[in-house]
Amino acid sequence: MSTFALLGFGEKGWGFALLAGAWMTLLVSLVGMIIGAAFGALVAWAKLSGHVVAGAVGDAYAAIFRGVPELLIVYFVYFGSSGVLTALANAFGVEGFVGVPAFAAGALAVGALSGAYQAEVFRGAFLAIQRGELEAARSVGMGRWLMFRRIVAPQVLRFAIPGLGNLWQVALKDSSLISVAGLSELMRTAQVGAGSTHQPFTFYIAGGALYLVLTALSNQVFNAAEARATRGLRRAAA
């Protein structure tokens, strides 16, 4: 079978399977990124709050998730959360091993990893807000929540876009590690294809090329987002 037919969309082609894998990679990275944003915002808040204990917990979380191999985190989250779920299920009378769905475990692992880095991005973005703007908001009588919604959140998002763009690329690549948990994302699909057709080179190159497409496209999206988010800033500077 020619490479073209092998990777094509015909009856025996792997084209659709690989595209479905790429779609799954996108989904799991996206959910992971959102979980990471929640973790990251919490840790950034803990560090900025000035609470000694909260800050120390935030620091410890960031240090651990940055200092330990990503693969180990994926194993730990996957097998670890299944262990917890099994224990819970057994306590409620369900017998045997209960596995956490690979998608959930994978998104959680990517999210926990990404959160450790997103915390720094958010913290930096918050510190980049002009103090005068916060003072102005307070002096016109805005409450904490209103100030967060109108002044802090929009600017943090704006300043965080470049950093988040980098972390999105990292999340896309880290999601390939979830293949060890059997989730049929792009890496896993390439592996299955390589195994069943005995054409590892073709399939890993095709998988790699699809990852490149994903990263290149998302680069464009983030550049556009940055241009849009900073359109007000540019006009002010000109």
Partner 1 sequence: MDFAFLTDTFLRLMAALPLTLEVWALSVAFGALIGAGVTWMRVSGNRALAAIACAYVFVFRGSPLLVQLFVIYYGLSSFPAVRASVFWPFLRDPFYCAVLSLALCTAAYQSEIFRGALAALPFGQIEAGKACGMSRWTLFRRVVFPIALRQALPAYSTEVISMTKATALVSLVTLWDMMSVATKIRNDTAIVYEPLLIAGAIYFVVNAIIARGFSALEWRLTPHLRGRPA
Q: In the complex, what is the shortest distance from the CB of residue 74 to partner 1, in angstroms, rounded to a whole number?
A: 10
Does position 226 bind partner 1 by CB under 8 A? no
Q: In the complex, what is the shortest distance from the CB of residue 175 to partner 1, in angstroms, rounded to a whole number?
A: 8
Token pair recorded at residue 123: 């913290």
Helix residue ranges, H only, the chain:
3-7, 15-49, 52-67, 70-91, 102-127, 131-139, 144-147, 153-174, 186-197, 200-229, 231-237
Does position 174 bind partner 1 by CB under 8 A? yes
Angle at 51 between CA 48 and CA 57, to 5 degrees: 85
Q: Are 164 and 121 in contact (CB under 8 A)?
A: yes
Does position 169 bind partner 1 by CB under 8 A? yes
Does position 176 bind partner 1 by CB under 8 A? yes
Q: Which of residues 64-103 bind partner 1 (CB under 8 A)?
A: 64, 67-72, 75-76, 79-80, 83
Q: Which amino acid is at 76?
A: F
Could you give the string, one character per residue 120-159, with x where binding to partner 1 holds by CB under 8 A and - elsewhere? ----------------------------------------
Q: In the complex, what is the shortest distance from the CB of residue 173 to partner 1, in angstroms, rounded to a whole number?
A: 4
Does position 59 bind partner 1 by CB under 8 A? no
Rg (CA), the chain: 22
Query: Pick from 157, 173, 192, 230: which binds partner 1 (CB under 8 A)?
Result: 173
**Per-residue exposure over 145-167, b if at least 16 CB sit within 10 Å of its own CB, e if not:** eebeeebbeebbebbbbbbbbeb
Query: Cβ closer to partner 1: 114 or 169?
Result: 169
Query: Pick from 7, 24, 156, 177: which binds partner 1 (CB under 8 A)?
Result: 177
Give dist(CA 221, CA 214) in Å, integer.
11
Does position 227 bind partner 1 by CB under 8 A? no
Does position 180 bind partner 1 by CB under 8 A? yes
Give dist(CA 13, CA 6) in Å, integer.
5
Residue 56 CB-half CA count within 13 A: 3
| Binding positions for partner 1, rule: CB under 8 A | 63-64, 67-72, 75-76, 79-80, 83, 169, 172-174, 176-177, 179-180, 187, 190-191, 194, 198-201, 204-205, 207-208, 211-212, 215-216
